[in-house]
């Protein structure tokens, strides 16, 4: 039985606090000098910290073997962890918006196809679906795309000189994706949209996998540093160099990697922040609704709104979502994943 890594929970807790902070800053009726500016400029980086932690966690939990049973087990565990709660969020936000979705991301309202794509985790493929059905749902789509790539990355990583191939490949895809989007794809998409909706093109390409892939690369690098005790300096240079092409955003991702490395190396434990981290997925999905509801019913400043939404989101996850949904499906997923591996183990013993 493995023990939960409390330092990883601290990083997840920091990430969710950043995400909740920025959305509270947008909805708050008053600002706090310094804190509001920090929230608007850096709060969204909480999602990139989640991606770094996700890359590390997948490397940590995949297992020693790389075969059909291991891959199937990996996907079963991930599906039962992510899918049920996300589907519940789809229903929740369809009810909240009266089936129209979030107009900022779908100015003309969402279509049935947008809901179907989101249900299938393919909303990354549509400019009107990638963030309009479930707010923040774009990041779940990015995660799911990376899951599809991950077994291939594991196969390469475990070969001789494999890690450097992984780092170089991720850096190359990120750089190529940036230039392809900036010079060709983004202008074409913006031109195809009504003038008052051209901003959707920037959001779409910010949220696509080639742009965010560098964060997962840093998660793999973090595993290489912390768990394998290696010093992949060339890999670090490749990823950092590719990141810095993204200007301020990329520099902040490098700093997030340094923060994560320090927290894990020092085995930092903060009980309340770690508790938030353990419930971060549910908090992420529900806090949008709570921010909107609280801000509409009781307009308030940033600090009280942030405290109230954080506490309410945690309570909802702790007392309702985790025991009724997450715990049950996680256990089922782990049981099914173990059953997939068992026949092979029995055959080997025979």
Q: Report DSSP letters for 250-277, one per residue.
A: HHHHHHHHHHHHHHHHTT---HHHHHHH
Helix, strand, or coil (residue 179): helix
12-16, 64-68, 149-153, 329-333, range with the lowest pLDDT:
64-68
Q: Is the dihedral of CA 25, 181, 186, 285 positive or negative?
A: negative
Task: Note the pLDDT of residue 348.
Answer: 41
Of 158, 157, 201, the residue nearest 181 (C-alpha): 201
Domain ranges of the chain: 6-349
Whole-number Å distance between alpha carbons of 341 and 339: 5
Task: Note the pLDDT of residue 210.
Answer: 96
Task: Note the pLDDT of residue 63.
Answer: 77
The DSSP secondary-structure symbol of 159 reads: S
pTM of the model as a whole:
0.95
Mean pLDDT of 315-330: 97
pLDDT at 349 over 80: no
Residue-wise pLDDT for 151-190, tens only, equals 999 999 999 999 999 999 999 999 999 999 999 999 999 9
Mean pLDDT of 32-60: 96
Percent helix, percent strand, percent coil in the chain, to nearest 5: 80, 0, 20
Task: Note the pLDDT of residue 344.
Answer: 52
pLDDT at 277 over 60: yes
pLDDT at 346 over 60: no
Task: Note the pLDDT of residue 347.
Answer: 43
Q: Is the dihedral of CA 81, 20, 213, 196 positive or negative?
A: positive
Whole-number Å distance between alpha carbons of 202 and 127: 10
Task: Note the pLDDT of residue 1.
Answer: 39
Asked if 12 and 50 touch (Cβ cutoff 8 Å), the reply is yes
Task: Note the pLDDT of residue 208.
Answer: 95
Compute the mean pLDDT over every residue in the chain, rounded to the nearest whole number: 94
Residue-wise pLDDT for 214-271, tens only, equals 999 999 999 999 999 999 999 999 999 999 987 899 999 999 999 999 999 999 999 9
Asked if 294 and 308 touch (Cβ cutoff 8 Å), the reply is yes
In angstroms and rounded to an integer, the radius of gyration of the C-alpha atoms of the chain is 20
Identify which has the larger pLDDT, 207 or 347: 207
Q: Alpha carbon of 3 to those of 76, 152, 264: distances in Å?
A: 21, 27, 15
pLDDT at 350 over 60: no
């Amino acid at each position: 039985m493995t023990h939960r890594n409390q330092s990883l929970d601290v990083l997840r807790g920091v990430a969710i606090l950043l995400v909740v902070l920025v959305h509270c800053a947008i909805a708050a009726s008053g600002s706090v000098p310094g804190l509001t500016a920090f929230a608007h400029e850096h709060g969204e980086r909480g999602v990139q910290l989640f991606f770094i932690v996700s890359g590390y966690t997948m490397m940590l939990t995949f297992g020693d073997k790389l075969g059909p049973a291991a891959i199937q087990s990996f996907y079963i565990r991930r599906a039962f962890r992510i899918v049920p709660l996300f589907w519940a969020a789809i229903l929740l936000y369809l009810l909240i918006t009266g089936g129209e979705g979030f107009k900022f991301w779908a100015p003309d309202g969402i279509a049935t196809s947008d809901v179907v794509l989101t249900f299938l985790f393919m909303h990354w493929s549509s400019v009107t679906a990638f963030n309009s059905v479930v707010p923040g749902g774009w990041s779940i789509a990015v995660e799911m795309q990376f899951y599809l790539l991950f077994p291939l990355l594991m196969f390469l990583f475990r070969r001789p000189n494999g890690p450097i191939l992984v780092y170089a490949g991720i850096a190359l895809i990120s750089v190529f994706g940036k230039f392809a989007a900036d010079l060709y794809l983004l202008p074409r998409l913006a031109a195809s949209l009504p003038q008052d909706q051209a901003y959707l093109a920037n959001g779409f390409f910010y949220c696509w996998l080639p742009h965010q892939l560098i964060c997962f690369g840093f998660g793999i690098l973090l595993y290489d540093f912390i768990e394998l005790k290696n010093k992949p300096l060339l890999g670090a240079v490749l990823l950092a160099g590719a990141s810095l092409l993204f200007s301020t955003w990329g520099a902040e991702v490098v700093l997030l990697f340094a923060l994560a490395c320090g927290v894990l190396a020092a085995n930092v434990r903060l009980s309340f922040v770690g508790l938030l981290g353990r419930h971060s997925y549910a908090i992420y999905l529900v806090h949008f609704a709570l921010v909107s509801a609280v801000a509409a019913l009781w307009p308030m400043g940033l600090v009280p709104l942030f405290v109230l939404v954080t506490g309410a989101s945690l309570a909802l996850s702790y007392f309702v979502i985790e025991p009724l949904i997450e715990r049950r499906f996680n256990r089922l997923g782990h049981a099914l994943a173990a059953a997939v591996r068992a026949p092979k183990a029995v055959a080997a013993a025979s």
